[in-house]
Amino acid sequence: MADSYDSGALEAADALRMEAHQLRETSRALARQALEARTSAKIIKQRARAALIVIEETARVNAELRKTVEALAARLRELGVGPETVVMAVKGISNEAAQTAVVPLRPAERLALTNDLVQWAVEAYYAA
């Protein structure tokens, strides 16, 4: 009877050791996953900050560009230049700038920018 008790106790102890080992392995795996998640979160935050900087800088540049185009359109109107000529001048400037750009724009972006420039010029021309 003592032998069966000892063997039952040994089996129970082995089972507990095995369960403890599995728990340690699970704990290590969860710790690795938590570290990976934290690292991923840091990377996402860095990329979000970088994107925000780009968005803010783009808005600032667009505002400056708009002021410049508006001033050009108003000045050309003062000089008696017709609206069609102003539009052609703005399109020409836009195309020339796109050809010499450090970072080339994709065709859709280039077209959108040109359309914005023309719209701003026409609005400023008729507002003057």
Ordered by start, the domain boundaries in the chain are 2-127
The pTM assigned to this predicted structure is 0.64
CB 97, CB 69: distance < 8 Å: no
Confidence band of 63 (pLDDT split at 50, 70, 90):
very high
C-alpha span between 80 and 103 (Å, rounded) = 35
pLDDT at 57 over 80: yes
